[in-house]
Structure 1
Amino acid sequence: MKIYLFIISLFFCSISFAQTSVSGSVKDSKNEPIPGANITVSGEDAGTVSDIDGNFSLVTTKKPPFEIKVSSVGYGVKTISVTSNNQKIAVVLDEEQTLLDEIVVSASRAPERLRESPVTIERFTAADVKKTASPTFYDGLENLKEVQMNTSSMSFKSINTRGFATVANTRFMQLVDGMDNSSPLLNFVLGNLIGVSDLDVASVELLPGASSALYGANAFNGILFMKSKNPFIDQGVSVYAKYGQTNQKAAGANEYYDYGVRVAHKFNDYFAAKANFTFMKGTEWWATDYDDKTVEGRDRSHPNYNGMNVYGDEASTNIKSVGQTLANMGLLPASAVNLLPNENVSRTGYNEVDLTDNVVKNAKVDFSLHFKPFKNDFEIIWQSKFGFGNSVYQGANRYYLNGFQMQQHKLELEGKNFFVRGYFTTEDGGNSYDMLFTGLNVNRAWKADSTWFGQYAGAYVQSTLAGATPEQAHTIARNTADTGRLIPGTPEFQNAFNQVISNPDVLSGSKLVDNSKIYHSDANYNFRDLIKFAEIQVGGSYRRYDLNSFGRIYTDTPQFGGIKYDEYGLYTQVQKKLMDDRLKFTGSVRYDKSDNFDGNYSPRVSLVYSAGENRNHVFRGSFQTGFRNPTTQDQYIGFNVGNAILLGSAPDNLTRYEETLPVTSPLGQALVGGTTTTIDGNNAYFNSYTAQSVAAFSALATSDPIAASALLVRTDVDLVKPETVKAFELGYRGQYEGFNIDINGYYNIYNDFIGNLTVLAPLYGTAQDAPNPLLGPTDPGAQSVDAIATGNYRAFQLYTNTDIEIKSLGFGVGVSKKLPRDFEISANYNYAQFDFDQAKDPSFEAGFNTPKHRVKGSISNDKLFKNFGFNVSARWSDEYLWESSFADGMIDAATVVDAQISYGIPTLKSVLKVGATNLGGKEYRQLLGPGLIGQQYFVSLTINP
């Protein structure tokens, strides 16, 4: 409480100094106001921005005479002399067709003109935020060249570049004011859960492709930088309110609203502060795909149905084996066993829409305190960010993040040529739960699996004896076993549901428990003021992972203690301009080390050449290597997802995971000396069969068991290690006849690509290639065949590397132009493909998950006529294959059009916007599992003095 009182006191206290005031207006050559123009004092960080009418007011302790600089995206820079206090200035900025002189920071960790960036870079400015046709600026990033968006939830969108897309995109990094937004537990970004408010966005920069040379292990396939506004420059109270409606065939029409406020104030040249709050609430896109996950064309009438968005039907067993067990117990005549089919039957599951309230929410709170002890020497920043919300995350299962919380706290010292920062990220799973285990355990709370399957077998036999066909017998058996089943909406169902989602034990509950943390620090120093022959930078970072899922997801059970491990890295970069500054050379190298893996070097070399009289034709080429350390999941997960155990391969994790399982085969019981046996992770990696070979075995086992056994293949994989990429890129940026053109092409070579492999570990015997069951019960290979044939095995999904080299290539073209009467058009195209010889590693899924062709375009006009503007954006992508641990299948081609019209209200210093997404109305998806994306209509009012 004391610290908050201290913060409040800082907001209302200031020290008086002699001050100079400057005010005025910023307009274009047509006498139209330019809102959002930057006005800064030359040689200082002090500054402000113009309001919606183009007016500004600047206060500084600097005494006249001095100069101020006025700039805005799309316009030239003007320098104005200030000779007296309270001087009024009228500034006219000339339009500038080229965007090559925009300043970017991310590509080289130092300010540089866009033209000089050594790699491809995409930008999204505060002006783009204002005119986007999407409900939020983060949604609007989907229209950038190179960006592929994957929607798991209305509030959880994952950005991907250059292939290998997933919801859990661990190959892509997102930084907000220098802080990694990744979840400590999950190792990937949860969209904009703890990102930036629309009101506080200063700029967004995107680097597609490998960036490990400067940013380390996780910047493997792209990195997004979001920078918020500095209260020394952007001050005042800004608010927005959005209200609208989502429309989807499954969910119908539902309300949507989003509110935000930003308060920022510079008390003097030494202290400024700001605070942000946003809140969004709506209805989730309902997930109602009831196709079978495993067999195309199978529907609910099939005895072994496993629906995409149905949970609880994952409980499946061979009904003939159930009959044999009943016969052994004397509960079924031995002769009746032969009436049962030798096939699997699944329990009746629950639809996803019955297992969530389908409410999506997100609240973000952040505040920061900014100190300049010596005015223009350096700045000290304390920043705290909090994110809360409900959303749906999809990994191997679907998870409802209910009351999920993340927070970040940072202390940073930033100067002209250096920064030093430290921050930590922590999260709390709240009341989140796994929907698959919710369905399974609500069923089990009502009736145990053994009882349900026993009743099913008995009813099937009775109806068959009474003359029913197999189809009729299955229907009668299911209805019998389901008698008294808990029905959604009843008090009995709700009581069972509430008990299950509050229980973290997967045997009876589904709650996700998490209190994991990341501690991170990094520093950078630029020697440009000390060393003149070249620009040299050095830097480094340190990170500690502190995992705490209480044994629910990781193997961090109390008996083993928590999981902690460290990573660190060091880098240097040299830049040198040659040939009258037309040629720019950049060379950098970084060394990274993780506790569990050998160190990695990541070099990058690039050349940029500016051709033409005005240097408006810029060619670039680069080569760099990147690497990605296995994530905490790859190393330490030990997560039961129902049909398999997700098992990480850190050496100590193999013994951390342990499970006692029932043995039902008479041979197996004799071998293990009882009805149960205990296995650990070593069984999964070193004594298992590939799932693909077991499937081939099962298809032939009944008719020809000898030939079937010959199809079994022993798993032969190594423990997971870092994956690497060699990235080659060529590009061009330039201007021709008023068109701004950006072309890039890339070629990537991946080695030791990390992926998943499903295996089946027999509970007894020794896995061998093509074991011979004729050798008898004393042969370890024959014993393992018996285990596989009788269902005495455990399925695992392992994290490993493929030995096959994977290659990807692509190119992109972006064109933009400002037309007469203030119209602006832009278009971009991306091509992507990859090369992987599946026949050489048939069990490995690369998961490219990327359309080969994507086209995007927009037309806008901020000054269509007095106070009116509009923007229309369209995008198209062709169909592509989606591969994941949740489901595989094709994603259809989709065309999406978004539009907005805006009206400025100068007297209120506000903008009224009316917008709509997916105007065509055809629902589409971006991956398998989530609901189809419908339409969204909204009206917003933004007051931004």
Structure 2
Amino acid sequence: MKTLNKTISLFITLFSATLLAQTTISGSVVDSNNQPLIDAHIIIENSIYGTYTDTEGHFILTVDMRPPFNLSASRIGYETLSIQVLNNNQIINFILKEGTDLDDTVVYGSRKPESVRESPVPIEIFDATDIRVSTATPNFYTSLENLKGVDINHGSLTFNSVNTRGFATFANNRFVQLIDGMDNASPALNFVMGNLVGMNELDVHSVELLPGASSALYGANAFNGILFMTSKNPFNFEGISAYYKQGITSQDAAGDNTYRDFGIRAAHKFSDKFAGKASFSYLKGTDWYATDYNEYNRGSVGTPDNISPFRSSPAHDGLNIYGDEISLGAALGMNLKELVQTYEGILFPIGSSILVPENNVARTGYREQDLTDYNANSLKADFALHYRPLADDLEIIWNSRLGRGNTIFQGGNRYQLKNFFIQQHRLEIKNDDFFLRGYTTSEKAGDSYDMFFTGLNMNKVGAEEWFGTYAGAYLQGAAQVQASGGNPFDPTIQEQLHTASRNAADQLVTIQPGTPQFKTLFNQITSDPDVNTGSKFIDNSKMYVVEGNYNFSRLLKDAVDLQIGGSARQYALNSQGTIFTDYDGPIKYDEFGAYIQGIKKLADDRLKVTASIRYDKNEFFDANLSPRISLVYFAGANKNHNIRASFQTGFRNPHTQSLFIGLNVGDVLLVGGAPANLDKNLPNTNLTARDAYFDSYSLASFLAFAASQGTSPIEPVNGTGMTPLVEPEKVKAFDLGYRGTVGPVDIDFSAYYNNYDNFLAEKVVITPNSGSTSDLSGIADIASGNYTIFQLNTNSSADISSYGAIIGLSTRIAKDFKLSASYNFAKFDFDQSSDPDFSAGFNTPEHKVKISFGNTNLFKNLGFQVNGRWSDEYLWQANIANAMIPSRTVIDAQINYTIPAIKSIFKIGGTNLGGKEYQSAVGTGYIGQQYFISWTINNL
């Protein structure tokens, strides 16, 4: 009993002490015009305690600390202010002076907090306030395009690919996107799905983007840049927030269609030790219709000279039409005259072929809009539990992210990603000095399918009957013309005969869209993973990652900032043979890396030296070392003119597709170059990857051989028939830059030069099916058409470089108006003659200009933003087609109104207000306009 009484007394004493130690501080944060500042960060210095201001600029903070202590307020674009707290329930009102964006704090340039000025590399930032009141697009993710040096390629309404410094694709394997440290890339496809399964905008705390090579700290694939998105911590951001957006997408091909987007976030701090949050969002709209029905000549640039307009020939192969690849030549190995000759005396009168020219005829294909409903949607959910066991900076986090959506992806073909699902689960322990995290990513392709093979296999049904009907109708029409005294070989008559014959064959044989028969056949083919008969692709791939970092600065008494870290990753590819050569079971492989970085300030803190080196090893390749050294010099009396220079080497491991792909995309078969892939059987052939890599003819000599009808010699690849297996790509990157303020203008300038070695490339080769390049049997195969066309993943021997410069200027006019502008120059250079078959795919405008003008407080609680972008024309090179993309000017704008009493912000906006539709790449839908109204409630 005495022991129990003592225990109770001790508990009461401790509980009372805790109550006595609690201190509550409240107040507000305003600017020099007495306007409230939303999302200002309030923190007790040298502690973990903090919060953020609400929509009225107010805050309340309760902590288990006794005064006195210092309370500071900070916000992007304003100077930090610190005030001492002396009493419990003290009211503190901060008035922050306008600062400069160059003083904003960033984390990821050096893996530690520092100002933008001090960052040794170029860096762009975007935060929750920008999302709330400055974005002029319905989707915050696409607003990143307004950052200087940033490109966004719009593949569809919900699939947008971020890139910097050129070599862009929709499968952008050169650019990394991290959400709370987790790689957001698809494990199988190895590229980011935009924000399709990413972050709810209500939970975005900050976005930082590093353009250029970042391998020295972040490993393979951080080759063109890296994007960091950090979510809000529930300890600091409590309450319930929600938004609703509605509007229309407007496009000439699709018309006007409703667009809706809804999201909610809830977070609560249960105690100083435990907090949790959950968020959910759902977007639904109509995707941009792709209606390019021109035919592009493969291997050449799409210009009026080599683009064939729709139905310019009976064998026309339209880009966004599928199934018109089935022709007499492809299906039966003959042209129209030969078909009639074959059946003379059986189906057609003897001598009929004299009325028939030697035309190749193709079936009428299905338009893309016949093979998809263009239903674009995205559902995202996020759950997190945060635990601080000691009520200090040590924090344990469990986080689960789930995403499901419909979108269209363009690679070698156009793919409908339907009910595509990705989930990520993370366990992390961290404090101010270290982090250790492990996470897994898994995905399922759902009901996704290849639209090319859907149309192709649907048109295989009744193909011979269709061609027979076509030929019969053509002969009947030609005979009637001749009988009436006309000339059936007149070009105008020829066009009329082919059109009438096509109509007759389509009406009698083709299964028409919208009919029950069409739906039945469509469902059958899109459920079948065999590309000979179906178009479904299967993906149940996974990725496992462990990584950590420790900063020794505190242990070293800040004598030097020293960090050591590392990571390990395993891929488990599982497409059941529909994407990879994993028909006999999942393919697993590993990679790991480690790095060390030191930062030291010298010369009276005017010179900051950062040096790092990273070691990485993939199980298929030799290890890579990636060193980086950078210098930042703080010039001027106030050290506010900052000059930086850096050199680093980066590398890029071949991605999963370049290692193990074995995918038929119609006219070519894609093959990966991993050593473990060589003896895998390739789909629809009797060949292996070893045959394709070590016994093939070059494309250039094959085309010359065909054009000369066999008189020009056909040559083995590299003289031996051998194509090198794929190896890691490397880059030497040089950066120079300046950040500073001259008068009222902030200046941020960067120039870069990149030189590439072993540039990852795709090479088309021609492989004899039964013969060999080592003797005449291979030539016999080529002459008889007994060959397979492969696209191999390898490296280019060409000397390739890219260079460019970016300058950004920003200033404030009449205090509240912010004007910013940037110019981006980007160029690449290589000797085409050193590798004639190589297609560089720079896919980036040489010149870009961006201008932003806005005021968050034009009148009380009323703000606006206008963003304009211009880019000149550029060449887009891809497997699907090559073409020049015209120059474009795009203007987005919005106005917003805040009602503090109901903690709400209303916004009305529109994108591409000039009205001229544009493409990011050949083959995609033209981007029209979006008009929207949104209501955001923030109760944080």
Instruction: Decide whether the 8 Å contact of 1:659 with 1:680 is kept in 2.
Output: no
The partner residue of 1:401 within 417, 435, 446 is 417
Query: 1:688/1:711 Cα in 2 relative to 1: closer, same or farther (>3 Å)?
Result: closer
1:539 matched to 2:565? The reply is yes
Deviation at 1:471, TM superposition (A): 4.6
**Matching residue's letter, 1:546:** A
Instruction: Decide whether the 8 Å contact of 1:828 with 1:855 is kept in 2.
Output: yes
SS in 2 for 1:182: coil
The partner residue of 2:516 within 464, 480, 491 is 491
Instruction: Decide whether the 8 Å contact of 2:574 with 2:585 is kept in 1.
Output: no
Residue-by-residue CA offset, 1:615-648 (whole Å, 9 max, x unaligned): 1100000000001011110010001111111111
Query: 1:641/1:710 Cα in 2 relative to 1: closer, same or farther (>3 Å)?
Result: closer
**Matching residue's letter, 1:442:** M
Give runs of aligned pairs for residues 539-558 of structure 1, distance below 5 A.
539-557=565-583
**Matching residue's letter, 2:711:** I
Deviation at 1:84, TM superposition (A): 2.4
Give runs of aligned pairs for residues 238-317 of structure 1, distance below 5 A.
238-294=241-297, 295-317=306-328
Deviation at 1:62, TM superposition (A): 1.6
2:473 and 2:780 map into 1 onto residues whose CA distance is: 29
Query: 1:420/1:452 Cα in 2 relative to 1: closer, same or farther (>3 Å)?
Result: same
Question: 1:721 maps to what in 2?
Answer: 727
Question: 2:899 maps to what in 1?
Answer: 905
SS in 2 for 1:191: coil
2:728 and 2:920 map into 1 onto residues whose CA distance is: 28
Query: 1:685/1:711 Cα in 2 relative to 1: closer, same or farther (>3 Å)?
Result: closer
2:516 and 2:699 map into 1 onto residues whose CA distance is: 41
Deviation at 1:368, TM superposition (A): 0.6
Deviation at 1:476, TM superposition (A): 5.5
SS in 2 for 1:785: helix
Deviation at 1:52, TM superposition (A): 1.1
1:430 matched to 2:454? The reply is no
**Matching residue's letter, 1:589:** I
**Matching residue's letter, 2:581:** T
Question: 2:656 maps to what in 1?
Answer: 632
SS in 2 for 1:100: helix
Query: Structure 1 residues 464-473 or 264-273, which shifts more?
Result: 464-473
**Matching residue's letter, 1:706:** T
Question: 1:673 maps to what in 2?
Answer: none
Query: 1:71/1:660 Cα in 2 relative to 1: closer, same or farther (>3 Å)?
Result: closer
**Matching residue's letter, 1:935:** Q
Question: 1:363 maps to what in 2?
Answer: 379
Residue-by-residue CA offset, 1:582-634 (whole Å, 9 max, x unaligned): 10111100010001111111000110000001111000000000010111100
**Matching residue's letter, 2:536:** K
Structure 2: segments with no counterpart, 5+ residues: 1-14, 298-305, 483-487
2:180 and 2:66 map into 1 onto residues whose CA distance is: 32
Give runs of aligned pairs for residues 195-234 of structure 1, distance below 5 A.
195-234=198-237
1:940 and 1:834 map into 2 onto residues whose CA distance is: 41
Deviation at 1:793, TM superposition (A): 1.5
The partner residue of 1:520 within 516, 541, 545 is 545
Query: 1:62/1:335 Cα in 2 relative to 1: closer, same or farther (>3 Å)?
Result: farther
Instruction: Decide whether the 8 Å contact of 1:693 with 1:713 is kept in 2.
Output: no
1:284 and 1:786 map into 2 onto residues whose CA distance is: 48
Residue-by-residue CA offset, 1:793-847 (whole Å, 9 max, x unaligned): 2111111111011011000000111221411110011000000111221111010
Question: 1:760 maps to what in 2?
Answer: 766
**Matching residue's letter, 2:760:** I
Question: 2:430 maps to what in 1?
Answer: 414
1:481 and 1:697 map into 2 onto residues whose CA distance is: 36
Question: 1:802 maps to what in 2?
Answer: 796
1:759 and 1:54 map into 2 onto residues whose CA distance is: 64
Provide the aligned length of Structure 1 versus Structure 2.
895
**Matching residue's letter, 1:796:** F
Give runs of aligned pairs for residues 476-487 of structure 1, distance below 5 A.
478-479=502-503, 481-482=505-506, 483-487=508-512
Question: 1:571 maps to what in 2?
Answer: 595
Question: 1:152 maps to what in 2?
Answer: 155
Give the alignment's TM-score, normalised by structure 1: 0.91
Instruction: Decide whether the 8 Å contact of 2:763 with 2:791 is kept in 1.
Output: yes
Deviation at 1:689, TM superposition (A): 2.2
Question: 1:606 maps to what in 2?
Answer: 630
2:73 and 2:153 map into 1 onto residues whose CA distance is: 39
Deviation at 1:453, TM superposition (A): 4.7
Instruction: Decide whether the 8 Å contact of 1:694 with 1:712 is kept in 2.
Output: no
The partner residue of 1:585 within 594, 597, 609 is 609
2:205 and 2:635 map into 1 onto residues whose CA distance is: 31
SS in 1 for 2:678: helix
Query: Structure 1 residues 468-477 or 77-86, which shifts more?
Result: 468-477
1:822 matched to 2:822? The reply is no
SS in 2 for 1:505: coil
Deviation at 1:101, TM superposition (A): 2.5
Question: 1:888 maps to what in 2?
Answer: 882
Question: 1:867 maps to what in 2?
Answer: 861
Question: 2:238 maps to what in 1?
Answer: 235
SS in 1 for 2:692: helix
Residue-by-residue CA offset, 1:378-421 (whole Å, 9 max, x unaligned): 11011100111110000000001111111100000111110000
1:368 and 1:377 map into 2 onto residues whose CA distance is: 17
2:56 and 2:564 map into 1 onto residues whose CA distance is: 43
Residue-by-residue CA offset, 1:290-316 (whole Å, 9 max, x unaligned): 111324134224122111111111234
Question: 1:939 maps to what in 2?
Answer: 933
1:458 and 1:658 map into 2 onto residues whose CA distance is: 39
Deviation at 1:486, TM superposition (A): 0.6
2:120 and 2:640 map into 1 onto residues whose CA distance is: 15
2:409 and 2:836 map into 1 onto residues whose CA distance is: 28
1:332 and 1:839 map into 2 onto residues whose CA distance is: 53
**Matching residue's letter, 1:684:** A
Query: 1:99/1:472 Cα in 2 relative to 1: closer, same or farther (>3 Å)?
Result: closer
Instruction: Decide whether the 8 Å contact of 1:322 with 1:457 is kept in 2.
Output: no
1:757 and 1:338 map into 2 onto residues whose CA distance is: 43
Query: 1:712/1:364 Cα in 2 relative to 1: closer, same or farther (>3 Å)?
Result: closer
Question: 1:774 maps to what in 2?
Answer: none
Deviation at 1:786, TM superposition (A): 3.5
**Matching residue's letter, 2:744:** G
> Alignment RMSD, CA only?
2.3
Instruction: Decide whether the 8 Å contact of 1:619 with 1:733 is kept in 2.
Output: yes
**Matching residue's letter, 2:844:** T
Residue-by-residue CA offset, 1:253-294 (whole Å, 9 max, x unaligned): 111111111111111111111111111111101111111132
1:740 matched to 2:746? The reply is yes
2:561 and 2:718 map into 1 onto residues whose CA distance is: 56
Question: 1:128 maps to what in 2?
Answer: 130
Instruction: Decide whether the 8 Å contact of 1:456 with 1:480 is kept in 2.
Output: yes
1:48 and 1:712 map into 2 onto residues whose CA distance is: 64
Deviation at 1:478, TM superposition (A): 3.8
Question: 2:785 maps to what in 1?
Answer: 791
Deviation at 1:325, TM superposition (A): 8.8
Query: Structure 1 residues 322-331 or 356-365, which shifts more?
Result: 322-331
Residue-by-residue CA offset, 1:887-906 (whole Å, 9 max, x unaligned): 11010100000000011111
Deviation at 1:201, TM superposition (A): 1.2
Question: 1:10 maps to what in 2?
Answer: none
Give the alignment's TM-score, normalised by structure 2: 0.92
1:507 matched to 2:532? The reply is yes
SS in 2 for 1:693: helix
Give runs of aligned pairs for residues 11-410 of structure 1, distance below 5 A.
18=19, 19-96=22-99, 98-130=100-132, 131-294=134-297, 295-318=306-329, 321-322=333-334, 344-410=360-426
Structure 1: segments with no counterpart, 5+ residues: 1-14, 662-677, 769-779
1:920 and 1:528 map into 2 onto residues whose CA distance is: 53
Query: 1:556/1:820 Cα in 2 relative to 1: closer, same or farther (>3 Å)?
Result: same
Deviation at 1:45, TM superposition (A): 1.9
Deviation at 1:791, TM superposition (A): 2.4
SS in 1 for 2:598: strand
